[in-house]
Amino acid sequence: MAVAIDGGPQFLLPPGIEPDFTFHFIDNADSREEMASFIRLSRAAPDDAVVLDIGAHKGLFSLVHLALRPRHRAILVEPSRPLAEDAAALMALNAAADRTEVLTAGMGAENGTRRIVTDALGFAQPAAGASEGEAVPFMTMDRLCAERRIAPSIVKIDVEGAEGEVLRGARATLRAHRPALCLELHFDALERRGESAGAVLDDLASLGYRFESTTGRPLPLWRLRRSLMAIVRVVAR
């Protein structure tokens, strides 16, 4: 299946990813706005902009970024091996493998290894025991960017409640390079982990970040902190 972005750049989708495409571009209003916001950021980014795609799933956001400029690059971080393999296959199908790096890895506040199992949909979950699942490396954003000497222009974070952990391992990168953040805040999942979405937002605000909706409307910090939504998609920059 060949698709185009607003009549512009085209890319190819294998049958297995078509439902993800229709969800983000057609079926779900919140996801359509999220993708439209990401496209605006990608188009406004430098010609050689790097996107850091954390919780990359099958790589659709990275593929869109790569399709918009011939020198755009992407690093995809996905702890589920099946999903990371799907993402790598998608990049290869679109002749973009030379501008991407797909890591079967997780991102957090510390460097180390965790045991991961995948559910029926391929999503990564923590293993219940030390002998279950697969040992998957986890790293901080600061380590990844320092080792690869990259300055990301955009960071997309969709990690199902681990947002605070990811951002705690990213403070040096955020201070030094100030990438735009496309952030899914899972208020309910954060609460189950004993974390506060308000604290995550406060930490970003302390670094000078300001927030807006995916439609570009400014979002005051106090209003975000009081949100009753389970999931809130925001842009921070």
Residue 130 has pLDDT above 80, yes or no: no
* pTM of the predicted protein model: 0.94
* pLDDT cut 90: percent of the chain above it: 74
Within a domain: 219: yes
pLDDT in the model for residue 85: 96
Lowest mean pLDDT among 11-20, 92-101, 224-233: 11-20
| Dihedral sign (CA 37, 41, 94, 5) | positive
- Residue 2 within any structural domain of the chain: no
pLDDT tens, residue by residue, 1-57: 787 777 677 888 888 788 888 888 888 888 999 999 999 999 999 999 999 999 999
Total domains in the fold of the chain? 1
Domain span including residue 143: 21-236
CATH of the domain at 160: 3.40.50.150
Q: Is 213 within a domain?
A: yes
**Residue among 145, 126, 24, 171 nearest 77 (CA):** 145
pLDDT value at 141 more than 80: yes
